[in-house]
Amino acid sequence: MSGFEAFGFNTLIDQKLPVQLLTSLLSKGTIPHALLFVGPNGVGKLTAAGIFAMACNCAGKKDYLLPNGEITANDSMDLHYTADPCGRCRSCRKILSGNHPDIISIKPSGSLIKIGQIRTLCNTLALKPYEAKNRFVIIAGAHAMNKEAGNALLKMLEEPPNRTVFILTALQKSDLLPTILSRCQQIMFNPVSCECIESFLEKNYDFNNGERKIYSKMADGSLSKAQQMAQGPGGPRYWLIRRNWLIDEACALSSRPIGSLLALAEKLSKKKDAITEVLDVIVTWLRDLVIHKYYPEKIVNSDLSDKIKKISLQESVESLVSKIEAVRTAQRKIDANANLRLTLEIMLMRLAQL
């Protein structure tokens, strides 16, 4: 939670049911030894995990840090769970800063969570918590565990260490071992609605109404994706400029010589961190060309409706579907750590031929 300045469940946007379930657990004092948060990326799963850890360890007014760094205590206060962490006690401040020794975070190393990471976790959990009432292990992207890592984690879930709570996050529960699922209380997180994302953008960025609609649709239910798009390196509208360039390049592929296609693949491969965004833009553009044939009011790139209409009339559904599959194939290969430049070269040549 390093760098997470806000705190409290009220910071979660459009997640009413998960918040109700988590605050109910806190109010009843029934904290499961393992929770699984399931839902798309960027909807607040990790934020909710951090807030829950804060709430389970918040000392309330018992242990406040004074402005001079000294500590004042009120021993008459009990330490019952609170659904509203104070954000000021020593525990809350450590969690907010990402420096609490008993809040352990694990995320994929590359594309996988590997057995070595879980073995290291096992060694850590063999020791008692340093200072927390409840030690937390937050495993982000638990669906990325390989089989060996999953089985090693299962042993800990079967015999959980004292005063330790596991929170796993995953895109969908079907990606996890059934035995792990059976040992976790599952909480489903929903995609953030376009209306909520638009409202967020209106409050925080200088976009006009049309731009907010485009960004909210392209975010595909992910608030963090909308933020990343709006915080581009060249300013809030940088993403729109780059989107327009990518679409123009995609439209011109069939007229380009092979050398130009290879040069474009090389250019795109140099920005590996942006490749997911690049492929998402291309897929969304191709889907708009298909959708316009049947439901023109549902296209995502609504500001380009005239261009979409013109090109959609020129392309068959079969050709467009084949192009979409070519991009999806490239996405799967890249996720599996295939050679990025070669994969893009094959994809672009395939798109140029279809």
Instruction: Kindly provide the residue ranges of all beta strands, DSSP E only, lying in 178-269, ordered along the sequence.
Output: 185-188
User: Per-residue pLDDT for 65 more than 50?
Assistant: no
Residue 52: pLDDT band (50, 70, 90) is: very high
In a domain, 219, yes or no: no
Is residue 59 domain-shared with residue 133, that is, in the same domain? yes
Q: Which of 83, 76, 140, 86 is nearest to 113 (CA)?
A: 140
In degrees, rounded to 5, the angle at the alpha carbon of residue 173 between the alpha carbons of residues 169 and 177 is 100
Tell me how far apart the alpha carbons of residues 235 and 125 are, in angstroms, rounded to a whole number: 44
Query: Looking at 160, 188, 216, which one is the last position of a domain?
Result: 188
Structural domain that includes position 39:
9-188
pLDDT at 80 (0 to 100): 54
Is there a single domain that holds both residue 181 and residue 326?
no
**Alpha-carbon distance 44 to 242, whole Å?**
27
Q: List, in sequence order, the alpha helices (H) in 58-168.
A: 90-97, 115-125, 147-158
Residues 266 and 344 in one domain: yes
- Tell which of 165, 188, 211 closes a domain: 188
Fill in the amino acid letter for 201. Answer: L
Residues 167 and 249 in one domain: no
Instruction: Please indicate, yes or no, if residue 311 is contained in any of the structural domains.
Output: yes
What domain count does the chain have? 2
* Structural domain contains residue 214: no
- Please answer whether residues 222 and 42 qualify as being in contact, where contact means their C-beta atoms are separated by less than 8 angstroms: yes
Examine the domain organization and report whether 248 and 184 are in the same domain: no
pLDDT confidence band for 6 (50 / 70 / 90): low
Q: How many residues does the chain have?
A: 354
Query: Which DSSP letter does residue 127 get?
Result: S
- On whether residue 228 sits in a domain, the answer given is no
Residue 68 sits in the same domain as residue 169? yes
186: helix, strand or coil = strand
Backbone region of residue 87 per phi and psi (left: phi > 0; alpha: psi in -120 to 50; beta: other values): left
**What pLDDT is attached to residue 111?**
80
**Exposure string over 92-107, b if 16+ CB within 10 A, otherwise e:** bbbbbeeebebbbbbe
User: Percentage of the chain surpassing pLDDT 90?
Assistant: 66
pLDDT digits (tens, 9 = 90+) for 201-228: 999 988 888 889 989 998 989 999 999 8
Tokens, residue 34: 């393992």
Q: 183 with 280, same domain?
A: no
**Assigned domain for 78 exists:** yes
What tens digit of pLDDT does each residue of 15-29 get?
Answer: 999 999 999 999 888
| pLDDT digits 0-9 by tens, 101-121 | 999 999 998 788 999 999 999
Q: What share of the chain is helix, strand, coil (3-state, %, to 5)?
A: 55, 10, 35
List the end-to-end C-alpha distance of the chain, in Å, as a whole number.
46
Residue 221 inside a domain? The answer is no
As given in the structure block, the two tokens for residue 174 are 């079907």
* Six-digit token string for 89: 């006690």
Query: Residue 235's pLDDT band (boundaries 50, 70, 90)?
Result: confident
326 within some domain = yes
Measured in whole angstroms, how far is the alpha carbon of residue 35 from the centre of its chain? 17
Phi, psi of 7 (to 5 degrees): -150, 160
**Which of the residue ranges 24-38, 58-72, 281-295 would you say has the lowest mean pLDDT?**
58-72
Residue 224 within a domain: no
